[in-house]
Every structure is written in C-alpha cells, then in structure tokens.
Structure 1
Amino acid sequence: MKLRVGFGYDVHQLGFNEELWIGGIHIPFEKGSIGHSDGDVLIHAICDALLGAANMRDIGFHFPDTSNDFKGIDSKILLKRTVDIIAEKGYSINNIDSTICLEKPKLKNLIPEMQSVLAQVMNIDIEDIAIKATTTEKLGFVGKQEGIAAYATVLIQKG
C-alpha cells in the first residue's frame, strides 16, 4: 500500500450581497465569499490537498477561474470531480483534517452537517473527516472580517 499526504489552503474575500458556502452547506449571514465559483473555501482547500497528495497540480489547473464552465458552480461538483480524478490514478481517501478560519459566524454547531455533506460527496465515512473552526483573535484580514481561510491535510492511499 502506498500512502501520500497532501496539504491545501484557500482564502476568499468576504463581501455583502454574497452567499456564504462552507463545507458544502449554505450559511445565512450578512456577508459571503466572493469567488468565481460559490467560494467554498473548505472544499477548495480539500480539493487542493487531494490533488497535491496525488501529485496532480491544483484546483486552478483542473477548474480554472478563467473558464465560464465553472462560473458560479457548486463546489461540491468540483470536489466530486476531484475525487474521481485521483481515483483514476488509483488513489482513495484515507482521512481529512481541516481548519476553517473565520471570525463570524460561529460554526461549531454546523460542523456535523458539513461532515455529513462532504462524506456523501466523497463517498467516505463521516468519521474520516475532521473539521475544526477557529478565529484569528481579531487579527489580520480574517479577524477584521474581510476574508475567510481554510486549511486541509489529507492522507490518500493506493493499493
């Protein structure tokens, strides 16, 4: 069995009159992510981590923001395609560990729903997806509520 680790990071600006999508769920809030797709930073970080672990470049290579095919697309579609892309190389997901950095809204009560949605999209056990949420103690663009960031580490296996 071959094991590989991948790391992903994504950031999006927050703006008024935008929808907030995190972990595949819509979160009602006064601000949302500004992006070419739906701006789901958690899914984008997971996609980058999976692609990196399989040595298959990054999300922008496979789903460029210069393509109208991906304008406003549901990031769950990108995640499903990413799982299919790494599967073509013989890889499957062992587990995911992720962190969302956002000052507001608080996410702790929404994490189980995110885990459930992501597990369904990736066809893996909910226990194999860890999601944590933190603030940056009012520091930087996250702390000033100008943006949102997410980190993901994945372990994939072949064989």
Structure 2
Amino acid sequence: MRIGHGYDVHATTDGDHVMLGGVRIDAPFGLRAHSDGDVALHALCDALLGAAALGDIGRHFPDTEPAWAGASGQKLLRRTVALVRDRGWVAVNADLTLIAERPRIGPHIDAMREGIAAELDLDRRAVNVKATTHEGIGGIGRGEGIAAHAVVLLEAR
C-alpha cells in the first residue's frame, strides 16, 4: 500500500463559474489556469501520481503544452488513473479538502463525490470531500484564489 498527497491552488480571474471536483459551480469569477483550473481534481491527480512515484501533474500535463489548454480536470484524472493502473496500482480511498471563501461548496459535495468515485472506480463511500474557508486570512481568505488538498491510498492490483 502507498499513500499520496496532492495540493493545488489557482488565482481568481474574470469569469462566471469555477470547476471544482468535476462540478461546474456558478460564481462571480473564474480561476486562472492553463486547463480548467479544477483545483480539486488537480490535487487528486498529484496525490495519485505521488503515491505511484510518477512525479507530478506538471510533468505529465505541462502548462507549456497546447494540447492541455482548457483540458477538463476529468480528462486529466482519467489519464492519471490509467498511468497509475499501468504501474499496477488502484485507489482504495480518497479524501479531499477544498479551501475557499466563495462560492459555497457544500451544496455540491455529493455530486463531486459521485463523479470522483466513478473516475476512480470506487464506491462513493470511499471518497470524501469537505470544504473550509481560510477565515479571511491571506490571499485565499480575501477571495483571491481557491486551493485544495487531496490524500489517496493505493494498493497493488
């Protein structure tokens, strides 16, 4: 068994929605990113890659590569899961923490869990998503960005 941790953060920018955990959430801003800016799925990709000793998301999906421009977090996650499985690993569970002052994430957690569980081929009960604020501290606390942490446990197939 192996454990992996991932972290991602993106700054806010002009827009009308954010993608978090594969779910589109209306917001008075977007997230600045080369892909869709889904910090939850990007952190999850990093956790999976780290647990499998495959580097990080930037190594596999560099922001200098036009092919990844605007790519969905789900697409990156699917490819990451395939890389991890090719190495002989499968996810056992995943735990994600989203950190944002806004938008309200709570109403979307069940949809995120369902989508992530499907991508990892897990029962929904093996995926946890929680949200917290930064209590007004720092850039995230001022609403200048959104961050996410993810932890996964892998086992050999």
Q: TM > 0.5 between the two? A: yes
Distance across 2 between alignment mates of 1:18 and 1:154: 31
1:23 aligns with 2:45: no
Distance across 1 between alignment mates of 2:55 and 2:17: 28
Distance across 2 between alignment mates of 1:119 and 1:71: 25
TM-score, normalising length: structure 1 = 0.96
Q: Where does residue 153 of structure 2 map in the other structure?
A: 155
TM-score, normalising length: structure 2 = 0.97
1:78 aligns with 2:76: yes
CA contact (8 A) 2:100 2:131 kept: yes
Q: Where does residue 31 of structure 2 map in the other structure?
A: 33
Amino acid at match of 2:91: I
RMSD (CA atoms):
0.9
Distance across 2 between alignment mates of 1:102 and 1:21: 13
Q: Where does residue 49 of structure 2 map in the other structure?
A: 51
Residue 107 of structure 2 aligns to a residue whose secondary structure is coil
Residue 26 of structure 2 aligns to a residue whose secondary structure is coil
Distance across 2 between alignment mates of 1:75 and 1:69: 14
Identity of aligned residues (%): 42
CA contact (8 A) 1:37 1:70 kept: yes
Q: Where does residue 96 of structure 2 map in the other structure?
A: 98
Structure 2 residues not aligned, in runs of 5+: none
Amino acid at match of 1:73: A
- How far is the alpha carbon of 1:101 from its aligned partner? 0.2
Q: Where does residue 121 of structure 2 map in the other structure?
A: 123
Regions of 4+ moved over 2 Å: none
Residue 110 of structure 1 aligns to a residue whose secondary structure is helix
For residues 10-41 of structure 1, the C-alpha deviation after alignment (integer angstroms, 9 at most, x for no partner) is 00001122630000010011011110000000
- My pick for the range that moved more, 33-42 or 9-18, is 9-18
- How far is the alpha carbon of 1:158 from its aligned partner? 0.4
CA contact (8 A) 1:18 1:33 kept: no
Aligned residues: 157
Distance across 1 between alignment mates of 2:135 and 2:129: 19
Q: What aligned pairs does 1:136-151 form with structure 2 within 5 A after superposition?
A: 136-151=134-149
1:6 aligns with 2:4: yes
CA contact (8 A) 1:18 1:34 kept: no
- How far is the alpha carbon of 1:104 from its aligned partner? 0.9
Residue 109 of structure 1 aligns to a residue whose secondary structure is helix
Q: Where does residue 42 of structure 1 map in the other structure?
A: 40
Distance across 1 between alignment mates of 2:113 and 2:6: 17
